[in-house]
Amino acid sequence: MIIENEEQLTQAVLEETKRTKDPRAKEILQALIKHLHAFAREVRLTEKEFNQAIDYVTALGQKTTESHNETRLIAGSLGLSQLVCLMNNKTPSANLLGPFWRANAPHLENGASLIRSPTPGVPLFFHGRVVDKHGTPIAGAEVDVWHASTVGLYENQDPTQAEWNLRGSFTTDKDGKFSFRSVKPAGYPVPAGGPTEALLTAQGRHPMRPAHLHALVYKPGFKTIASQVYSHDDELLETDAQFGVTKALIGHYVLHENEPAPAADVKGPWWSLDYTFVLEPGESFLPKPPVSAKAAEKARSMTEKV
Ligand SMILES: [Fe+2]
């Protein structure tokens, strides 16, 4: 179609989608074009702003490395990740995968520690359960867990932590239970230095995520879920930079100040947390890991934590 004017342009672009063989791809492309053009019209996008937007999207790819995924990060800060999660999951246990899951974490026995290098923090003893929607225990589920250190860095971002520190994979027992020892996590800022930081700054938003534990629960016959359990006492639950917090995912930690801990080497206060993950029937799959390696020593700086 020869283009005559602005009004007719959108129709010309839509005409070119008609040969798309995959019906779902065609549906998505047509909606994308309609909404993208409507968006530009609504804000009367200037040429200067369009060029800024091109640079902005380009930077998402340029900032992404094998130890950092800027595109997934900004999807979270725009609320798109949480929207897709809520639209596609019935179980309240499902949540964002986040940008820091690594595949093939070392398998650990129930009760084992996630700590592989000196990690300050108050000891945590976590007891998890995996059940179906009727509350029936699911035995033999694989549960990957991972969390940031108390200085707010995952091991793949932090050359001072041993590889796989604060990560592990567990198998639920006949009662659907799994357990591990670690330290109570702290909140942390999302990585700076890229388009996501620019977005947050422009909006006057802080870059923090409230403290949380990540889990990925996998069992054939059930839909694989990523989950995050948030600390009930974190002041930033309502302003998570990634919009991940939902009521069902707030974990109620219990502080033990004058009780013997489950491990003899713990002399002071310790935390415990019980949490139950609910799976729904569906397809089990392993997601593509957003990151695949630990950051090299040279790659880290205070402004770019990747
Ligand atoms: Fe996280």
What does the pLDDT read at residue 252? 98
What does the pLDDT read at residue 69? 86
**Alpha carbon of 264 to ligand 1 centroid (Å):** 30
The enclosing H or E element of 125 equals strand 123-132
**Alpha carbon of 222 to ligand 1 centroid (Å):** 24
**Alpha carbon of 250 to ligand 1 centroid (Å):** 14
CA distances from 212 to 17, 209, 268 (A): 43, 8, 22
**Alpha carbon of 305 to ligand 1 centroid (Å):** 14
CA–CA dist 207, 156 (Å, integer): 19
What does the pLDDT read at residue 301? 35
Backbone angles phi, psi at 145, to 5 degrees: -125, 145
The closest alpha carbon to 70, from 303, 229, 290, belongs to 290
Alpha carbon 186 to chain centroid, angstroms = 15
Instruction: Report, as ranges of residue numbers, the positions in the chain whose pLDDT lies below 70.
Output: 295-306
CA–CA dist 277, 145 (Å, integer): 12
**Alpha carbon of 198 to ligand 1 centroid (Å):** 20
- The DSSP call for residue 165 is T
Record the tokens describing residue 43, joined without a space.
């804000």
Record the tokens describing residue 197, joined without a space.
């930081």
What does the pLDDT read at residue 156? 87
**Alpha carbon of 229 to ligand 1 centroid (Å):** 10
Backbone angles phi, psi at 207, to 5 degrees: -95, 10
Alpha carbon 103 to chain centroid, angstroms = 14
**Alpha carbon of 212 to ligand 1 centroid (Å):** 6
CB 263 within 8 Å of CB 204? no
CA distances from 184 to 168, 177, 252, 277 (A): 15, 20, 12, 19
